[in-house]
Amino acid sequence: MAGKGYYFWENNYERALDFANNPPGKTKSTKPSVLGAVIDLQSCLDFLDTDYLRLVQYSYQSLELIASKFELELPVNRSGKGTKDLVLRNLDCAVIEHLHSIQQASKFRPFGSARGVFVEGAELYPGAGFHEKNHVQICIRNPNCIK
């Protein structure tokens, strides 16, 4: 999970509908639906860019230091019902939210969106690097990004 916001699956209607029908850790909707949108990513925290990945790593190290100092436990990413995939991304969400708070405290421009690749599901064939539920997920934090 890329933090708090509105979630989109880039160019993948079927994966979005699958998520709506089978939300990890949440109650199923009685009438799941998928909406399309035109999105301007604006100041995007892009998990496909090395510089942003370093920021995420720094955020984790900072969060870990704070947790250690105050003897707190960090959240943990967990698998969902019926899957080994870590789809309940409590740690990832905490790290990203911490990064947003660092940005705000430092008076840097806030990220309006976050975008990354998520590898999920069974291998398409033995030894494959491709999985049945791979997707690019976009989290919109600033609703003005949705056109």
Residue 29's contacts (CB-CB under 8 Å, 6 or more residues apart) are 20, 21, 23
pLDDT at residue 56, rounded to an integer: 97
At residue 82, the pLDDT reads 79
Counting residues of the chain whose pLDDT is more than 90, the rounded percentage is 72
Q: What is the pLDDT of residue 65?
A: 98
pLDDT beyond 70 at 1:
no
- How many helices and strands, by DSSP H and E, does the chain display? 3, 6
When pLDDT is cut at 50, 70 and 90, the band that residue 19 belongs to is confident
Report which DSSP code applies to 144.
G
pTM beyond 0.75? yes
- Would residue 117 be called left, alpha or beta, if left means φ above 0 and alpha means ψ between -120 and 50 degrees? beta
Q: Contact, 95 vs 60, CB < 8 A?
A: yes
pLDDT of residue 131: 95
Residue 93 clears pLDDT 90, i.e. is over it = yes
